[in-house]
Amino acid sequence: MKFFHLSDLHIGKTLHHYSMKEDQEAVLSEIIGYAASVRPDAVVIAGDIYDRSVPSAESVSVFDWFLTELSKIRPAIPILIISGNHDSAERLEYVSGILKEHQIYVSGSVPRDETERICKVKLEDEYGEVDFYLLPFFRPSYLRNVFKGETPETYTEAVQRLLEREEIDYENRRNVLVSHQFYTGGKGETVTCDSEIFSVGGIENVDAGAVEDFDYVALGHLHGPQNVSSPHIRYCGTLLKYSVSESGHDKRLTVVTLGEKKEKPVIDLLPLHPLRDVKKKTGNLKDIIDQAAEDEREDYISVTLTDEVDPYKPREQLEKVFGHILEVRVDNNRTRNKLSELEEETAFRDPVESFADFYQEMQGRALEEEELQIMLEIFGQAGEE
Ligand SMILES: [Mn+2]
C-alpha cells in the first residue's frame, strides 16, 4: 500500500500581503503529476486544506480543481481528507456523502455523541486490508456529549479515549491514523515555525505514546517536516514555505509504503519545484543588488541590511531587482544600540516622549513644534477615553 501524505495546504494563504495562488496551483499540479506517474493507492490530506474557516471563492475553486484533476486519474485513487484547525468542519464536509461515492472521504468532525465513531476507511492491497482512521482537529470540549459528564481534561487523554472506543486490532490488522494536533514525545524536540497558529496559554500537546501502536500516523499541523519520537509518526510539513522562518526547510512530498503487517513503513521524499522560493538575504544593499541572480528575481525575499550608513530608500532600490520583497530590516550598530537601550529601559515612559523618540528614529529628525502639539492633543484625547 503506497500513499501520498500531504497536509497544511493552506489554500488562500498570503505571504506578507502577496497572494500565493499561483504558487499553490503550481505545486498542486506537481502533486497531480506525481499522482499520475507514481499511481499511489491513496492520497491522504491531514488537515488545514484552507487558510481560513471561510475560504474565498477563489480558494474553493483551486481545491475543486485539484480534486477534480486527481479524480480524473484512472484507476481512481481514493482521497482521504480531515479538517484542521484552520478549516470549518461543516463547510469542508459539504456534500461529503456524495463525494464518498467517488472515493473522496472527508471527515470534518470528531464523534459528536455516544453513537458516533471516528470515520474509518478500509482500503485493500495484496497483503489484505488497511484501516485508515480519520481524526479531524478537535478540542477536548468538542467531546462533551461523547463521554457523558466526564469530558477528557487533556488532549492526550482525549485521543486515548476516542481511540479506545474504536476497539482497534493492533495485533493483526494494519492501521493508519490521520490526525491534526500538536503531537510531542520522545527525545527529539518538536520544531515549530512562524506560520503555525497556536492558541495562547493552553497545553495542547498530545503525547505520541497514545498513537504509537498504529502502523503509520499521518500528521498535519506543524509546517516543518519531522518525525515525532519514531519514523512512523510523522508530520509531512507544508508543500511550500509559508514563512521566512521556513526559508531553510527542504519541502518535499512524503510517500509512504506499507508492506506486510509488522514491517516498518518505507518513507520516500519526492522533490518539489516551487514557482518561487522564500529566501533570506543579509548584507550591504549594494552587494545584495549586485549579487542578485537572474533566477531569484521572482522569489520571495526577506532582506536584512547591514550598511552602517542607512542607504537612501532601500526598499525602492531593492524592488527594481526583486519582484517580491517580503520585508526590509536593518541590522547595524545604530539598531543594535537601540535594542540594547530598549532592553535596559523596562520602566514605562511618557507615551509622547516615546513617540518623539520613535519619530526621530524613523525620520532622522525631531518632531517640529506644530507636530508635537498635534501628538499631545491625540494622546490627550486617547487618555480621556
Ligand atoms: Mn497549518
- The Å distance, Cα 195 to ligand 1 centre, comes to 7
Contact between residue 158 and residue 182 where contact means Cβ atoms under 8 Å apart? no
pLDDT of residue 282 exceeding 90, the answer is yes
Q: What is the assigned CATH class of domain 2-271?
A: alpha beta
pLDDT of residue 200: 47
Q: What is the pLDDT of residues 139-161, one digit of tens each?
A: 998 999 999 878 898 999 999 99
**Which helix H or strand E contains 132, and what residues bound it?**
strand 128-135
- The Å distance, Cα 84 to ligand 1 centre, comes to 7
What CA–CA distance (Å, rounded) separates 111 from 165? 11
- The Å distance, Cα 194 to ligand 1 centre, comes to 11
pLDDT of residue 201 exceeding 60, the answer is no
Picking from 77, 41, 35, the residue whose alpha carbon sits closest to that of residue 259 is 41
- The Å distance, Cα 10 to ligand 1 centre, comes to 7
- The Å distance, Cα 221 to ligand 1 centre, comes to 5
What CA–CA distance (Å, rounded) separates 83 from 217? 16
Q: At what angle do helices 351-363 and 369-384 cross, to 10 degrees?
A: 140
Under the banding of pLDDT at 50, 70 and 90, the label for residue 199 is low
pLDDT of residue 347: 58
Q: What is the pLDDT of residues 243-272, one digit of tens each?
A: 999 999 999 999 999 999 999 999 999 999
Mean pLDDT of all residues in 277-295: 95
Contact between residue 35 and residue 248 where contact means Cβ atoms under 8 Å apart? no
Dihedral angle computed from the Cα positions of residues 89, 92, 93 and 94, in that order, rounded to the nearest 10 degrees: 130
- The Å distance, Cα 198 to ligand 1 centre, comes to 10
Picking from 257, 196, 185, the residue whose alpha carbon sits closest to that of residue 228 is 185
- Report CA-CA distances (Å) from 320 to 97, 279, 292, 328: 51, 17, 11, 14
Q: Structural domain boundaries of the chain?
A: 2-271, 277-346, 350-385
pLDDT of residue 5 exceeding 80, the answer is yes
Picking from 224, 226, 271, the residue whose alpha carbon sits closest to that of residue 245 is 224
Mean pLDDT of all residues in 283-303: 95
Q: Is 72 exposed, middle or buried (0-12, 13-18, 19+ CB in 10 A)?
A: exposed
Under the banding of pLDDT at 50, 70 and 90, the label for residue 36 is very high
pLDDT of residue 348: 62
Under the banding of pLDDT at 50, 70 and 90, the label for residue 64 is very high
Mean pLDDT of all residues in 168-193: 89
Q: At what angle do helices 21-38 and 57-72 cross, to 10 degrees?
A: 10
- The Å distance, Cα 44 to ligand 1 centre, comes to 15
- The Å distance, Cα 240 to ligand 1 centre, comes to 12
pLDDT of residue 26 exceeding 80, the answer is yes
pLDDT of residue 186 exceeding 70, the answer is no
Contact between residue 159 and residue 210 where contact means Cβ atoms under 8 Å apart? yes
Predicted model pTM: 0.85
Q: What is the pLDDT of residues 341-370, one digit of tens each?
A: 766 655 567 788 888 888 887 777 888 999
